[in-house]
Structure 1
Amino acid sequence: MAADIRKSYGELNAVDGVSFTVAEGEFFGILGPNGAGKTTTLEIVEGLRQADSGHVTLLGENPWPRNPALLPRIGVQLQASSFFEKLTAKEQLLTFGSLYGVGDTTAMEMLELVGLGDKADVREDRLSGGQRQRLSIACALVHDPDVVFLDEPTAALDPQARRNLWDVLREIQARGKTIVYTTHYLDEAEILCDRVAIMDRGRILAMDSPATLVRGLDAPTQVVLQRGAISTEQARAINGVEHAYEDDVSLTISTRKPAPVLSALAERGTLDGLQVRTATLEDVFLHLTGREYRA
């Protein structure tokens, strides 16, 4: 639980009154643009950084000052992971496991969990980016923690590696672990998270399940037809159509009553190539944080 935590650097309010509670076994995501305060928030909760004010309770304990009683119960994967030089994947994991008194068998089981059993004897610096990320997560999990913190675990991965890592994260949660993570990938958060908190400029702007946040946006459904299927004027005349516009490729219809609109299009025989696009978590994110790019 985080209650009104704050952290400033000079005039920058990196974390500005953030509060949230994560339930046991929950997959909780913290989303936000660059500089939103996600990583700082996570570091305060983990006990890696001291808040200026506010209160954090982690598994019934105060994580700051660094609490040795919590260390065996939490696993942390940082944005940038460092490994011991010239060690294989197996040796890396055995080394991390030895810090917690974990036996070799358990460490190897974790290597299998993240899909690196066949890479056990490969040096860490010869693994792909996705494999290194999975090894990093295995190191965070090797001592069987109750809560796992993952800071942008799929950043810079190719689509296939990201999807493979999703399976790992699902398996971790299926084992009863609580997962708190940050990400830039809205499609990922919508699929994986039970609840998300959307942050910007150090504050939480919205927090709920992805489906509830999308419903609350009350965004229109977009029906996309091939250009020339019907005219823009015909589309605008259909009952329930709020807006219709055409570009060089397609005709897009906006409606909050998709059923009668689709029925009318079916009667006109214009369903070939039709696409229906409902609102997503990305729409909620952009609605709350704006569309301006921030490096």
Structure 2
Amino acid sequence: MRFPRPKRPPDMGTAGVLLLSALVLPLIVGLLAGVLGATAAGGGSSAKPTTPQPPEIDLSELPTTADYPTDYPDPGYPTSAATTTANEAHTAAVGECFQDYGSGSTSDFRTVSCGPGTYQLIERFEGVSAQSYCDGVEDTNWVVTYSDQVLCLEYQYADEAGNAAIGDCVYGEQADGTWYQYECEPGTFKVVDRYYGSTSTDRCDARQDYYRTSRWYTNPDQSQLDAVLCLTYQFADDSYYAAKGNCVVASGGEGNLRLYAAPDCDSANAVITGRTNEYNPEFCRDHGWRGWRDDRYSWVNYTVCWRRK
């Protein structure tokens, strides 16, 4: 069984600017799972935040966590109209970046250092003109065609997270600050959908799964490249999605206890006896408890109480 989706918290914020500050604080997400608990804390640095690090736990014999949806369709990519103006993109090497000084449907690419607001050349095809040559070229989100050449490009958004694909994980210390891509692990946000041509989050809000929040990016010159990411928070187990009365599988011992969704109550060995949307182990009194605390995104905090069947 899959636990019912909880009520979604308020939207955590957006990115929607071309250049964002790179000054961020490091992230340290601590996971305390003695008689079940988890916390998060942080410090200060000008470098990329530290990837959230749960304690070393052997999960080889534990059940698989809830299967976050992964079968969303490829969002595809917008395409430009064919251009005829000769520019430096014709002879550039794969990996170089350009600024577009053109207007309308005509591009005028000039070589610049790679960074936010530039286009990076991912692949080129000579002697052809069909934009379909870029289909399946990883990281491509913009295609420029000429009479004898096709360029597969990746627009560089305001921060590293802006170029994350479905299935990638991201995190930032502030909702409206600089975000980065990370290995997927507890304390990060996974991209469950991505779409172009809008900054509206309606498509994310309409989802009926583990979607939690959204993040949007803009291109000031090409609205077709405006992009929205639908995100879900990565917890260490399934307990966040459990409601009072749900049957679960309690696995592991002191220091690595986890609660997982059970196919049915006959397969379970524990029952959820209470829940609060705060990190408060005392809420459970003499019952077992499982919780999570993220000091930066308090709307993911929770505590569930449980007992053995």
What is the TM-score of this pair, normalised by structure 1?
0.27
- Structure that is richer in strand per residue: 2
Q: TM-score, normalised by structure 2?
A: 0.27
